[in-house]
Each structure stands twice: as structure tokens, then as C-alpha cells.
Amino acid sequence: MNFWERGISFYFDGTSFVHKTNPFDQARATQSMAWRRKSEGLALNCTTKGKKAGVEGRTAHFFVAIAYGKGVVSCDQYFHRLKGENFADYVRLRFPQIFLDSANPTAKRFLQDGDPVQNSAAAKRAFQEVGAVTFAIPPRSPDLNPIENLFHLVSKQLREDAIDKQITSENFEQFSERVKRTMTNLSIITIDRIIESMNNRVAMIIEKRGQRLKY
């Protein structure tokens, strides 16, 4: 059994996308990039997480989980300010079903990064209550969480759709639904290939001593 494919029940993270009233114009605008020197390790990695489409407009927040052979097993929008207790309530409510839909329901092992809210005392109590085992990775280490690649693909698809379909007007509810539809429609094959790259990622991180990878 490949640990990354079957040993991890699901890969989990939160993400945000900013609503634009005219997606067509926004999609044609020059995209910003976050970068850093090649020598900077994982702990110094800069990320654009939570700012997928700019800085103006309402933000659509989602908790997302992917699993090998299953694709996107959850995509839940949330609307409140995220705190430890809020996230703990979500864990109690949704994790049992997400584990049932995952690649390995019996292991109950999931991978997430070091986000403070997702690793708060309240969250850890909730993990224990539902029998979840956390496979934690360092903060700001997107190379080690394949779900970050999925978020990148979704952002790209949202821009392409806005241009191809000439979406010049879209309210927040329509945008939120388009994000969720784009996320859940990503093919299982695509997601499996991302997860299958984990062995290479780990080997390259060791070889490069924590330097940023191509992933």
C-alpha cells in the first residue's frame, strides 16, 4: 500500500476566493505572483492563500477535502469568522462522513498544515472525539499538501471560464456556486495524479534541504 494514496484518508485545507462583480474584466487583468529566492526554505515560504482573486469584494470561504480514488470528498462553504471553536464544531459535524467517503475510512488519518485555527486546542479535542489522527505538515509548506495544487487549478479554471463564457455580471451567490461546481467537477484522475506525486515531492525536499520545489 502506498502511504500517500491509501494511508492518508484525505487531504484537508481551507481556502478563499474573492468575488468580483465583473469576472470577465478581472480575469483579463494581469495576475499577481508571490515569489521568493530559491534558497529560502519551507518555513519562509510565501503563499497567496486566501487571496486567490485580488483584494476587493466579498470572500467565499471553503473547507475542502480530497482523497485518492475518490476525488473531492467535501467542499463546504462557511460564512463566519473562523475560530477554534467554529472549526471544532465543523469537525464534529462533517469529519465522520468525510472519513466514510475517503480513501481509507478505517485509518481515520488526514493531512493538514499548521494553520493555528485548525490546530487549536478546541480543534484537537474535536479530532479526538471523532477518532481522527492528524498527519501534520509544517506551516507554509504547500509543496507537502497536494490540495494546494487543486486550489491553483480551480483558480485557473475560474479565470478561463469567465473569459470563455464572457461572465460580465455575477452576484456573490452565483460566484460561490461556480467555485463549488468547479471544485467538485475536477476529475478523480487529475486529483490522483497530484497525490501520486507525493513520493517525488518528499524525495526532492530532502535532496534540496527544504528549498521550494516545482510543485
| Structural domain for 165, as ranges | 3-208
In a domain, 51, yes or no: yes
Q: How many helices (H) and strands (E) does the chain have?
A: 7, 5
Domain count, the chain: 1
> Tell me, what CATH number does 156's domain have?
3.30.420.10
pLDDT, tens digit (0-9, with 9 covering 90-100), for 137-186: 876 676 788 999 999 999 999 999 999 999 999 999 999 999 999 999 99
Between residues 167 and 46, the one the model is more confident about: 167
Closest residue by Cα to residue 140 from 26, 65, 12, 49: 49
In a domain, 11, yes or no: yes
Identify the residue whose cell numbers are 455575477: 170
pLDDT recorded at residue 137: 83
Cβ-proximal residues to 37 (8 Å cutoff; 6+ apart), any chain: none
CA gap 1, 212 in Å, rounded: 28
In a domain, 213, yes or no: no
In a domain, 214, yes or no: no
In a domain, 15, yes or no: yes
In a domain, 121, yes or no: yes
pLDDT recorded at residue 47: 39
In a domain, 163, yes or no: yes
